[in-house]
């Protein structure tokens, strides 16, 4: 039965790690060893904290014997940062608490989190074609859709900038990705920075992606950008210029 269990764990798409109440590694499957850049055989019996620098959210959960479910976190292994979506299951027994950690494929989980978000149907075909000015707008909109550069839409409130942005999204190579609209007037307070750009704080147990991260692989439409808090404007500028995000309390860049 033990051989059957090991074969089952090795066949999983998820990485699987378990350690005992002393923190010593008991099991690691090939997928987890590959993701975390560890030698599965040499790692057996060693302290998990000797092998990896654990993310703060995981350290806190271990300390409190608290479960986690689908939380995005970053490990450090072999001087490299490794993103993963993790699920932690404490096994509480009389002799102590052991743990089972699942490492879910991060890109697969991101796709799952965003698969039902931001689906918009408005296209250039829905716009009237009989007006010369509208035809000119559609022409430039299609040019913008073929470009990888940020697009600035100018116009009075209520003229249809959001619908135009949806048409550009659906015409672009990112049409299969999410379309996320953000009203920057709601983020005039820097206290909402974590919801806007994300954070790695130890109490961030829900694993939610920020608004910027939700738009990964798709389109981010920012309305009323002039209301965005000054503290968030620099983060947004980094995204526009470099295509990366620095989460709050984080040490790495997220593309």
Q: Where are the domains of the chain?
A: 2-112, 113-254
CATH class of 2-112: alpha beta
Q: Tokens for 141?
A: 């909109």
Determine contact, residues 72/83, Cβ cutoff 8 Å.
Answer: yes
Rounded mean pLDDT of 92-115? 77
Q: Tokens for 161?
A: 């900038």
Q: Tokens for 16?
A: 């699987």
Q: Residue 145 has what pLDDT?
A: 95
pTM, two decimal places:
0.54
Q: Residue 2 has what pLDDT?
A: 55
User: Under 8 Å CB-to-CB from 215, ≥6 apart: which residues?
Assistant: 118, 177, 178, 179, 180
pLDDT digits (tens, 9 = 90+) for 123-137: 999 888 888 989 999
CA dihedral sign of residues 35, 38, 41, 47: negative
Question: Do 2-112 and 113-254 share a fold?
Answer: no
pLDDT digits (tens, 9 = 90+) for 206-224: 455 677 777 888 888 888 8
Q: Which residue has the higher pLDDT, 98 or 2?
A: 98
Rounded mean pLDDT of 187-212? 62
CATH of range 113-254; options 3.40.50.300, 3.30.70.100, 3.30.1490.20, 2.40.110.10: 3.40.50.300
Residue 235 has pLDDT above 80, yes or no: no
Q: Residue 153 has what pLDDT?
A: 93
């Amino acid at each position: 039965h033990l051989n059957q269990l090991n074969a089952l764990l090795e066949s999983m798409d998820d990485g699987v790690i378990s350690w005992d109440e002393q923190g010593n590694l008991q099991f690691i499957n090939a997928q987890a060893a590959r993701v975390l850049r560890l030698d599965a055989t040499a790692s057996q019996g060693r302290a998990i904290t000797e092998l990896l620098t654990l993310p703060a959210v995981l350290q806190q959960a271990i300390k409190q014997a608290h479960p986690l479910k689908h939380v995005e976190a970053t490990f450090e292994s072999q001087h490299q940062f490794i993103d993963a979506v993790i699920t932690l299951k404490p096994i509480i027994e009389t002799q102590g608490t052991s743990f089972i950690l699942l490492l879910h494929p991060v890109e697969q989980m991101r796709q799952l989190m965003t698969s039902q978000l931001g689906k918009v149907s408005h296209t250039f075909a829905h716009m009237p074609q009989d007006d010369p000015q509208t035809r000119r707008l559609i022409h430039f909109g299609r040019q913008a859709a073929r470009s990888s550069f940020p697009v600035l839409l100018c116009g009075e409130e209520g003229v249809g900038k959001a619908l135009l942005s949806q048409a550009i999204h659906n015409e672009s190579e990112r049409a299969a990705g999410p379309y996320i609209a953000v009203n920057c007037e709601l983020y005039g307070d820097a206290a909402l920075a974590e919801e806007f750009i994300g954070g790695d704080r130890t109490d961030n147990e829900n694993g939610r992606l920020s608004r910027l991260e939700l738009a990964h692989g798709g389109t981010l439409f920012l309305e009323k950008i002039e209301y965005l808090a000054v503290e968030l404007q620099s983060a947004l500028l980094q995204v526009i210029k470099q295509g990366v995000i620095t989460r709050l309390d984080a040490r790495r860049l997220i593309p």
